[in-house]
Amino acid sequence: MNADEFLDAVRDENQTALSRLGSSKSLYADTGGEMETETVLAAAATAEHRAAETYDAWADAETGTVADAFDETAAEERSHYETVAGKLDSHDPGDVPAIQAYLRDLDDTVERLGGFVGRTLAAEQSKTQLTGFFVGNADPQTAALFRGMGDDLDAQMARARELLEGECGDDEACWERALEAATGAIESAYDEYTEALESMGVNPKPVC
């Protein structure tokens, strides 16, 4: 397996979860059904803040190029947080999202890199929905802000793929460990999405 095949495998194994995380219901779940600008921004800010914390901790725990990559990613997430929180009068980060709780339990380099891929794929779905929300609210400036954050996710994915190539090479068992971690990250986000919608009496399964 190589990085391209790995990414294809993650997407294939998690196609349904990623599709639903990219549906319009994902913002509804994240905001507890309160689809107002302030609430959407607050939920987005919390996600960025908690991601920065996770990547900071990983950077401290790793060494060399892996630590550098996580440090760079943490800086991007902190910048995202500051930008989004700056559009609010104030912001106190909410609970740690399930995906971040899952990632923080990973203590192996390969598993962290796999989780990194899973989180990035889930975040791509979220950024698409956030962009669409602000386009629909006739707020092109904020839509462009989240579109730009999506560009940062492309850079993060490139980092993850390069590092996984270096760590796993031709070791299929290594790639499988990374795949399991990536899937676990996506599943944790999907489970939280499902539970949030069901708690509000909403069927999480239909995409539309």
User: DSSP string covering 112-160, please?
Assistant: HHHHHHHHHHHHHHHHHHHHHHHHHTT-HHHHHHHHHHHHHHHHHHHHH
Q: Note the pLDDT tens digit of each residue in 81-94.
A: 999 999 999 999 98
pLDDT band at 150 (very low <50, low <70, confident <90, very high): confident
**206 within a domain of the structure (yes/no):** no
Task: For residues 18-40, give the mean pLDDT.
Answer: 91
pTM of the model: 0.93
**20 within a domain of the structure (yes/no):** yes
How confident is the model at residue 23, as a pLDDT?
87
**Residues present in the chain in total:** 208
How confident is the model at residue 205, as a pLDDT?
74
Q: Note the pLDDT tens digit of each residue in 67-126.
A: 999 999 999 999 999 999 999 999 999 899 999 999 999 999 999 999 999 999 999 999
pLDDT band at 208 (very low <50, low <70, confident <90, very high): very low
Residue 107, helix vs strand vs coil: coil
Q: What is the rounded distance in angstroms from the CA atom of residue 25 to the CA atom of residue 19?
A: 11
Q: What is the rounded distance in angstroms from the CA atom of residue 186 to the CA atom of residue 124?
A: 12
**204 within a domain of the structure (yes/no):** no
Domain count for the chain = 1
Which token pair is 28? 């509804």
- Residue 202 contacts residue 25 (beta carbons within 8 Å): yes
How confident is the model at residue 203, as a pLDDT?
84
55-64, 177-186, 196-205: which range is least confident on average? 196-205
For the chain, give the mean pLDDT. Answer: 93
**28 within a domain of the structure (yes/no):** yes
Which token pair is 58? 């990983």
Q: What CATH number does residue 33 fall under?
A: 1.20.1260
**29 within a domain of the structure (yes/no):** yes
How confident is the model at residue 207, as a pLDDT?
46
**207 within a domain of the structure (yes/no):** no
Task: For residues 22-50, give the mean pLDDT.
Answer: 92
**18 within a domain of the structure (yes/no):** yes
Q: Find the helix or strand (DSSP H, E) in which 174 lies.
A: helix 172-199
**73 within a domain of the structure (yes/no):** yes
Q: What is the rounded distance in angstroms from the CA atom of residue 42 to the CA atom of residue 33?
A: 13
Query: CB under 8 Å to 90, separation ≥6 — which residues?
Result: none
The span from the first CA to the last CA of the chain, in angstroms, equals 35
Q: Identify the domain containing residue 159 by its residue range.
A: 3-199
Q: What is the rounded distance in angstroms from the CA atom of residue 17 to the CA atom of residue 188?
A: 10
